[in-house]
Structure 1
Amino acid sequence: MTANTDPAGHAALAICESLLLALNDRDILPETEIMGILRDAASAHEQATDGDDALHREVVRLIERIIDGGNSVRRKDA
């Protein structure tokens, strides 16, 4: 995986993760919906056809790591 030095991308990821966590913590969106959002995002990159395959594969791997528990979206009591 290449090193990502895009501060805007890092900021966007941090903001989105925080929003998803807040929506879950406040029982606005259940974990299943949040996981669905993440899977939809990964699927969009898997199906992208703009020619930047390496970038899309890297994005899919990152989202899959989040889904697999690379962050705290999943409740510890679930």
Structure 2
Amino acid sequence: MSTASEHAGQAALSICEALLLAMNDRGLLPEHEIVGVLRDAAATHENAVGTELEMERHRAVAEMINTIIAGGNSVRRP
């Protein structure tokens, strides 16, 4: 069962992805900079410290961001 927090996270991800696509479409950010933003976000979570549970959550977030990078979801590629 999904929680309100999970829905909020999915909404935030969708909004951010739409913004990245729009910035790329309008020529505001080239693909390499969008990928750089995503890599920075992943690195922040990969380097986070905290309890084992917090670190597990950060690792999961980093893995999700790295999957987005690998899949090209936030950049329209020909």
**Same fold at TM > 0.5:** yes
Q: Is the Cα contact below 8 Å between 2:35 and 2:69 reproduced in 1?
A: yes
- Aligned alpha-carbon RMSD (Å): 1.8
Separation in 2 of the partners of 1:56 and 1:9? 14
Q: Which structure's residues are more often helix, by fraction?
A: 2
Q: Where in structure 1 are there 5+ consecutive unaligned residues?
A: none
Q: Which runs of 4+ in 1 moved over 6 A?
A: none
Distance 1:71 1:49, change over 3 A: same
Deviation at 1:50, TM superposition (A): 2.5
Distance 1:40 1:21, change over 3 A: same
Structure 1 SS opposite 2:77? coil
Q: Quick one: percent identity of the two aligned structures?
A: 58
**2:70 paired residue number:** 68
Q: So what's the TM-score if we normalise by structure 2?
A: 0.85
Separation in 2 of the partners of 1:72 and 1:36? 12
Distance 1:56 1:29, change over 3 A: same
Separation in 2 of the partners of 1:24 and 1:70? 12
Q: So what's the TM-score if we normalise by structure 1?
A: 0.85
